[in-house]
């Protein structure tokens, strides 16, 4: 199964040892995790800025994501979908990847519930989604 993780879940997985970390590690080991340049840039920017990761730690995260995820370029969506235009980037990456799910904590994405055949789930709901799949 192909899964896209929104930047907020990847960041939570990297800075805390909670559900986001467990789901992210599980997906890396058992599924194909796809990311796009937008998601990677957002993760690196927030780690450097908001969480004060130094340049070496940011480079480690970038290298880790490069080695363990598949990079895809977003496709153009036919029209805007989300209230937050940045969230359309996540939908475009998931569409390009052929993802079964987007894992996010973002309310604007979660309110959609799905985009076409792509389920949009919280990290805590991923286990139930995976069992259904």
79-96 residue pLDDT tens: 888 888 889 999 999 999
pLDDT grade, residue 107 (50/70/90)?
very high
Contact (Cβ atoms closer than 8 angstroms) between residue 93 and residue 57: no
Q: Residue 96, Cα to own-chain centre: how many angstroms?
A: 13
| Domain encompassing residue 81 | 2-132
Which has more confidence, 90 or 17? 90
Q: Residue 75 has which token pair?
A: 């496709």
**Predicted pLDDT at 41:** 97
Query: Distance between CA atoms of 8 and 5, rounded to whole angstroms?
Result: 8
Q: Which of 22-31, 54-63, 87-96, 124-133 has the lowest mean pLDDT?
A: 124-133
**Predicted pLDDT at 76:** 87
pLDDT grade, residue 5 (50/70/90)?
very high
**Predicted pLDDT at 59:** 98
Helix axes 19-30, 7-15, angle to 10 degrees: 110
Whether 97 shows a pLDDT value over 80: the answer reads: yes
User: In CATH, what number is assigned to the domain containing residue 66?
Assistant: 3.40.50.1010
- Number of separate domains in the chain: 1
For the beta carbon of residue 77, count every other beta carbon within 10 angstroms: 14
């Amino acid at each position: 199964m192909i899964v896209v993780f929104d930047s907020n879940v990847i960041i939570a997985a990297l800075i805390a040892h909670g559900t986001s970390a467990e789901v992210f590690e599980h997906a890396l080991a058992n599924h194909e995790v796809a990311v796009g340049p937008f998601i990677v840039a957002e993760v690196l920017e927030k780690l450097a800025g908001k969480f004060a990761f130094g340049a070496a730690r940011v480079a480690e995260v970038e290298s880790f994501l490069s080695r363990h995820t598949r990079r895809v370029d977003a496709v153009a969506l036919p029209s805007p979908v989300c209230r937050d235009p940045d969230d359309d980037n996540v939908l475009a990456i998931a569409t390009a990847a052929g993802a079964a799910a987007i894992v996010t904590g973002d309310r604007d994405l979660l309110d959609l519930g799905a985009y076409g055949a792509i389920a949009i789930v919280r990290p805590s709901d991923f286990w139930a989604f995976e069992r259904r799949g």
